[in-house]
Amino acid sequence: MALMTEVWITAYDAPTAQIAVAGGADGILVGDSVANVVYGLARTAEVTLQMMLPHFTAVVEHAGDLPVVADMPAGTYDTPEMAIQTAKCIATCGTKYVKLEGAKPAIIKALIDDGFQVMGHLGLLPQTAQKLTKVAKTEAEQAQLVADAQAIANMGCERIVLECVPNEAALAVAAAVDVPIVAIGCGAGLSGQIRVMHDVVGLTENPPPFAKAYGNARAEMVRAVADYVADVQ
């Protein structure tokens, strides 16, 4: 496991990118979670590349020196050729660092060979999961998780997001690969953590159980609007 501690957070527009910078985050993911927290869609798989492109551009322009990773939307990287085409489209927004879900070593290798940086994503895969719950709970599933992590790390992934797996499984993955493991809902002891901006600041109405809120932005914004309405009235 790489000896480092990274704090990643999502951002989707100029204000959230600026907040990430001012708050001291180490990196920004323009996540396909924009489907849920910005567009109010039920699943991340519902957001399209065309919907995400303006978000990539806005964040890159306001992220300062922070690395910006762009989530590749569902259905845009099913083959190496499709993945490269998608990544080139994303690159026009200002970043050549992309994230994709699943153990897809051939696609990852093709992207890296074409000059892109890649962040992997294993464990719970929201784009294809039937329900959002902890995965890799059996010994066999955990062994496969380790093997998948090794496969994509060997292809050149710079980091791997690991979502919603038991802490012992996450630590086993971290011990098996020499790239940072950025966890979400996997407990402590890993190279870094990543969270959705709206969950962190308390703007999400129904956040996942592992997503600790460090503020109450929703209540404060409701109060401010109510005060404005009262003033005008």
Query: Any idea which residues carry the catalytic annotation?
Result: 163
CB atoms within 10 A of CB 218: 15
Whether 181 and 191 have beta carbons less than 8 Å apart is answered as yes
How long, in residues, is the chain? 233
Say if residues 101 and 121 touch (Cβ distance below 8 Å): yes
Residues 6+ apart with CB under 8 A from 210: 164, 184, 185
CA–CA distance, 31 with 205 (Å, rounded to integer)? 18
Q: Structure tokens of 226? A: 């109510």
Phi-psi sector, 75: left (phi>0), alpha (psi -120 to 50), beta: left
Q: Are 208 and 233 in contact (CB under 8 A)?
A: no
